Amino acid sequence: MNSRKVPQTDPPIARAHELMEKLASPGSDVLWLNPPGELLGAGQAGWRFWQPHHASHHALRSRGWEEVAPNDDRRWPQILLYASKHKDETFHLIAAARSRLASGGKLFFVVPNDYGAKSYEKPLRESATSLSYENGRKSRLYRLDPLLESTPQSIPLEALQQRGGGYWSSPGLFSWSGVDTGSALLAEVLKKESLTGPVADLGAGWGFLASGLPAKTAVHLFESDRRGLECARRNLADHNASYHWCDLSDLERWPQGAPTQFPNVITNPPFHSGQREETGLGQLFARLAHRILTPGGALWLVGNSHLAYPRLLSTLYREVEIKAQARGFTVVKARR
């Protein structure tokens, strides 16, 4: 499969990375948390990284970086942490990073202004013996010296939690604390249909859409965030489900072992890259679905109504039908 690759670089994080490069001085043993893989060079001996997003993870591994296990409890003399756009995820990673600092260790934490850089100052200052920061080009780098109180036990990097309704999720996943409006609307539509398997769930997250399918229906979940698939495995324990950790914006690396043809595709495509609305991601999902659908197969897609997916889909598919509209979202069925 060949396709234009959607750029992975998030400009705010790219600017924050410039500040990290300028002010942090990595030594021989460094733990890198959530690093932007496409911006970093070759790995070095003593460096380890944690990165749940496939594109950055693949970029780092291809350059010789070694990964740390999410539950590894080693203490590090220096940790470099890049903020997520999700504050609840970032605060968890700060706590996890602190729990891994060696005595006298240093934690560098870089965050773009777009992610609320200044708002971190007060909570960070309350729990560090000293806190300093430097402002860069629309970003800020904090340096945290040893804590007032040491953390006796390492906090897992991947915070899988059971949420309302019994679903497993994790900070950092889309709509991690509850079912989003768009997915709920699409699920209502799918309940009235009898989808033939195998079904492809593109951008599956923690598996909500797949969980609404009959348990015997074969469903393949494609997701870029490893934590989403770990949660989905728990949420779909009684389903006929297969899991594919992948970067769907890079169609030249279709997951090994995954089918390439499906009679049905379901998706609530992402429409943000970093803090920016990015309709190109949804358009890519629509085109990908067209590639993997069998002749006569159907795409079931939900998106914000203002994104005008029906108009886009009409240029790709022979039949396009609006199945539901409510609460600012539109569900579209498009037949190949």
Maximal C-alpha separation, the chain: 64
Q: Measure the CA–CA gap between 281 and 274, rounded to whole angstroms.
A: 12
Q: Measure the CA–CA gap between 194 and 109, rounded to whole angstroms.
A: 49
Element containing residue 125 per DSSP (H, E)? helix 121-125
Beta-bridge partners for 63: none
Q: Measure the CA–CA gap between 79 and 101, rounded to whole angstroms.
A: 7
Phi, psi of 185 (to 5 degrees): -65, -45
Cα–Cα–Cα angle for 305, 279, 40, nearest 5°?
150
The structure tokens 């240029």 sit at: 315
Across 14-172, the runs of DSSP E, i.e. the strands, are 30-33, 47-50, 66-67, 76-82, 101-112, 131-136, 139-144, 161-162, 168-169
Q: Measure the CA–CA gap between 133 and 326, rounded to whole angstroms.
A: 45
Cα–Cα–Cα angle for 248, 212, 208, nearest 5°?
50
Q: Measure the CA–CA gap between 85 and 27, rounded to whole angstroms.
A: 27
Q: Measure the CA–CA gap between 267 and 303, rounded to whole angstroms.
A: 9
Please list, in sequence order, all residues whose beta carbon lies within 8 angstroms of the beta carbon of residue 143, skipping any fewer than 6 positions away.
Answer: 23, 106, 107, 108, 109, 131, 132, 133
pLDDT tens, the chain, 336 aa long: 223 333 456 889 999 999 999 999 898 999 999 999 999 999 999 999 999 999 999 999 999 999 998 888 899 999 999 999 999 999 999 999 999 999 888 999 999 999 999 999 999 988 776 788 999 999 999 998 765 455 568 899 999 999 888 999 999 999 988 899 999 999 999 999 999 999 999 999 999 999 999 999 999 999 999 999 999 999 999 999 999 999 998 878 899 999 999 999 999 998 754 445 556 778 899 999 999 999 999 999 999 998 888 988 999 999 999 999 999 999 999 999
